[in-house]
């Protein structure tokens, strides 16, 4: 029996993880050079690779402790440092201390989010506790892309971007639950409809990627607080009914 099975190196998932890291590092270089739109696109691509590496590892039964640690380290760069630096150089510099503190808080909460995720014993396919850092990074990146769509060509200055970074930082370490979509059970008779839906979704994304990606990211980020509010209202309603009876 191999006692070091969890620490084995599996090339394919690790290569996908390193591809995500490459995209994150490219985003950092692009942001430093003032190429904010390519930097935002690189973060989106990094999120795609990040989603693929875990799925490939599960499909090929090659999950390991080594891959998990590598994924977290790469995620901190691609979805922590890269979006924070992109946001800072693109929109937070004019705010001085408040700007770089917001960027630092984003990186710190990303690290805390990843550490909590690695130490929590959650069932496979269960919901995420706190906003996943790839989703937060996609929110930052899609905001940059959406601003370009609206006509912004260089740096911007708007307090909403500063507030967005603080809000995303809070949501990553919050207890709000977010859907993971890791193990979605689909009935056989619904698989064809799913393929049609995914095809239509890809067409929608391809029409105006900056708009559709921004809307998707915004809806997902907002889903956590909305679900928490819905549960709170349902609990209050149930409590009031019990008091009446």
φ and ψ at residue 128, rounded to 5 degrees: -80, 145
Hey, is 183 helix, strand or coil? coil
At 1, is the pLDDT very low, low, confident or very high (cuts 50, 70, 90)? Answer: very low
pLDDT value for 242: 67
Is residue 1 domain-resident?
Answer: no
The DSSP H or E segment spanning 116 is: helix 97-119
Q: Specify the higher pLDDT residue, 205 or 93.
A: 93
Task: Evaluate if residue 117 carries a pLDDT over 70.
Answer: yes
| Tokens 């402790």, residue located | 65
| CA dist., res. 96 & res. 64, Å (int) | 43
pLDDT value for 183: 59
At 215, is the pLDDT very low, low, confident or very high (cuts 50, 70, 90)? Answer: very high
219 CB-side CA count, 13 A: 6
pLDDT value for 2: 46
Give the range of the structural domain holding residue 138, as residue numbers without chain letter.
7-244
Is residue 164 domain-resident?
Answer: yes
List the structure tokens of 206: 């391809």
Is residue 2 domain-resident?
Answer: no
Longest CA span, the chain: 66
Secondary structure letter of residue 80 according to DSSP:
I
pLDDT, mean of residues 47-51 = 91
| CA dist., res. 187 & res. 178, Å (int) | 23
Is residue 105 domain-resident?
Answer: yes
Q: 126-165: buried (b, 16+ CB within 10 Å) or exposed (e) per residue? A: eebbbbbbbbbbbbbbbbbbbbbeeebeeebeeeebbebb
**Which residue from 83, 86, 72, 96 is spatially nearest to 34, judged by alpha carbons?**
86
List the structure tokens of 161: 């971007």
pLDDT, mean of residues 213-223 = 94
12 CB-side CA count, 13 A: 11
- 244 burial (CB, 10 Å; 0-12 / 13-18 / 19+) is exposed
- Looking at the chain, the whole-number percentage of residues with pLDDT higher than 70 is 85
Q: What is the mean pLDDT of the chain?
A: 86
Domain count, the chain: 1
pLDDT value for 211: 92
pLDDT in tens, 130-149: 999 999 999 999 999 999 99
Q: What is the CATH number of the domain that holds 213?
A: 1.20.120.1760
pLDDT, mean of residues 194-212 = 84
**Which residue from 59, 50, 38 is spatially nearest to 79, judged by alpha carbons?**
50
Secondary structure letter of residue 130 according to DSSP:
S
Task: Evaluate if residue 51 carries a pLDDT over 70.
Answer: yes
Is residue 72 domain-resident?
Answer: yes
Is residue 11 domain-resident?
Answer: yes
Contact 131, 221 (CB under 8 A): yes
Torsion on CA atoms 73, 76, 78, 80, rounded to nearest 10: 180
pLDDT in tens, 154-199: 888 889 999 999 999 999 999 999 988 665 566 666 667 777 878 8
Whole-prediction pTM: 0.86
Distances (CA, A) of 51 to 5, 10, 139, 184, 226: 23, 17, 16, 15, 24
**Distance from first CA to last CA of the chain, Å, rounded?**
60
């Amino acid at each position: 029996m191999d006692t070091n099975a969890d620490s084995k190196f599996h090339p394919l998932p690790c290569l996908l993880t390193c591809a995500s890291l490459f995209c994150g590092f490219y985003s950092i270089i692009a942001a430093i050079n003032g190429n904010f739109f390519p930097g935002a696109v690189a973060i989106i691509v990094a999120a795609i690779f990040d989603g693929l590496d875990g799925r490939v590892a599960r499909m090929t039964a090659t999950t390991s402790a080594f891959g998990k640690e590598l994924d977290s380290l790469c995620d901190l760069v691609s979805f922590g440092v890269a979006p924070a630096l992109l946001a800072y150089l693109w929109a937070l510099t004019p705010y001085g201390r408040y700007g770089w503190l917001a960027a630092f808080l984003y990186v710190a909460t990303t690290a805390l989010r990843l550490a909590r995720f690695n130490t929590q014993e959650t069932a496979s396919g269960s919901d995420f506790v706190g906003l996943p850092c790839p989703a937060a990074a996609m929110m930052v990146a899609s905001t940059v892309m959406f601003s370009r769509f609206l006509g912004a060509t260089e740096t911007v200055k708007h307090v909403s971007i500063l507030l967005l970074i603080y809000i995303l930082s809070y949501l990553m370490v919050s207890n709000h639950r977010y859907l993971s979509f890791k193990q979605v059970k689909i009935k056989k008779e619904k698989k064809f409809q799913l393929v049609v839906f995914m095809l239509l979704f890809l067409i929608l994304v391809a029409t105006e990627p900056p708009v559709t990606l921004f809307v998707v990211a915004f809806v997902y980020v907002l889903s956590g607080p909305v679900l928490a509010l819905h549960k709170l209202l349902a609990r209050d309603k149930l409590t009031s009914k019990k008091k009446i009876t």
